[in-house]
Amino acid sequence: MKKAAYLFLTPALTAIFVFFFIPVIAAFLISFTDFDIYAIGNYSRFQFTGLENYRKLFENDLFWKALVNTFYFVVASGPLSIAISLGAALLLNSKLVRFKGIFRLVYFMPVVTTLVAVSIVWRFIYHPEFGLLNYGLSFLGVEKIDWLGDPNWAMPSIILLSIWKNFGYNMIIFIAGLQNIPEELYEAAQIEGANAFQRFTKITLPMLAPTTIFITIITMIGYFQLFAEPYIMTQGGPLDSTLSIVLYMYQEGFRWWNMGYSSAIAFVLFIIILTGTLLQMWYQRRRTA
């Protein structure tokens, strides 16, 4: 019986061990070397340089720019998209609304589509001359904006795209969370004379807290990995205003083949995501304790 268990486990665990765990460890080691394009041709041509990559990283303005840009993106689109998801979930969970299935489907549609393709579509929607967005805004008297060409607008444009692309996913999870809240709680509150706002803040929000924390963690992890949108729409520009950590890692590692340096970037990303996840898990534990 035990032998069977190991047989069943072997293919998956071998694949994960060889093609995930070993690369993680290797990346960690490479991040302490000067592994570059010469070393790819000849593996004897690299050496351990200790913390040199990390030192260079923290002295590099471009890295800080990428870090700040990525935090800007996560801090702005994370809470915004979660708020919109919650709003949509509340509306679609309301007893007043019929045809819930259709609305849910429509709002969810962007989630399943290919990020590269929709980034291309939005690139044309943001076109300063012919784009739909400027056309729509012209009716509100807004002057033409060069969305992707203006360093101040490029990141907000990417934020808008990513909210549109993702809010449906969290909306579905919120709807599931809302349906798990017992109806009696609301009935009791109504008898006690609580108004709609009080019912929302005193029942809905606290009961949704575990869902919200889960959503915050997965949204944060996903958003820190921002890559395809700037790659397609701005190539990190203008003036590096949309350069993200992963885009910077990609450029250093796979365009310039500075693999040691690039691995160090990847590990900084990992540490950030790990810290964020642990903080939120700690917060959740403190709440429930």
Which 46-85 residues touch another protein, going by CB under 8 A? none
142 binds another protein (CB under 8 A): no
Q: Which is nearer to another protein, 203 or 232 (CB)?
A: 232
What is the distance between the alpha carbons of residues 238 and 148, in angstroms, rounded to a whole number?
Answer: 8
Q: Which is nearer to another protein, 108 or 153 (CB)?
A: 108
Whether residue 23 has a cis bond before it, omega within 30° of 0: no
8 binds another protein (CB under 8 A): yes
Shortest separation between residue 171's beta carbon and another protein, angstroms: 10
Shortest separation between residue 85's beta carbon and another protein, angstroms: 12
Instruction: Name the phi and psi angles at 48, rounded to 5.
Output: -70, 130
Instruction: Name the phi and psi angles at 33, rounded to 5.
Output: -125, 170
Shortest separation between residue 107's beta carbon and another protein, angstroms: 6
Q: Kindly tell me which residue out of 38, 48, 58, 135 binds another protein, with binding defined by CB under 8 A.
A: 135
Please give the residues from 83 up to 102 whose contact with another protein meets the rule CB under 8 A: 88, 91, 94, 96-97
Q: Kindly tell me which residue out of 121, 142, 188, 196 binds another protein, with binding defined by CB under 8 A.
A: 121
What is the distance between the alpha carbons of residues 33 and 53, in angstroms, rounded to a whole number?
Answer: 8
Shortest separation between residue 92's beta carbon and another protein, angstroms: 8
194 binds another protein (CB under 8 A): no
Instruction: Name the phi and psi angles at 38, rounded to 5.
Output: -70, -35
Helices (H), the chain: 2-16, 22-30, 37-41, 52-59, 61-93, 100-112, 115-125, 132-138, 151-179, 183-191, 196-199, 205-224, 228-233, 245-250, 259-288
Give the Å distances, CA to CA, from 125 to 57, 88, 110, 134. 36, 24, 15, 8
CA dihedral 235, 222, 287, 209 (to 10 degrees): 110
- With b for 16 or more beta-carbon neighbours within 10 A and e for fewer, the 47-64 pattern comes to eebeebbbeebeeeeebe
Q: How many residues bind another protein (CB under 8 A)?
A: 84
1 binds another protein (CB under 8 A): yes
221 binds another protein (CB under 8 A): yes
289 binds another protein (CB under 8 A): no
Please give the residues from 13 up to 52 whose contact with another protein meets the rule CB under 8 A: 13, 15-16, 19-24, 26-27, 30, 40
Q: Which is nearer to another protein, 41 or 192 (CB)?
A: 41
115 binds another protein (CB under 8 A): yes
Shortest separation between residue 3's beta carbon and another protein, angstroms: 8
263 binds another protein (CB under 8 A): yes
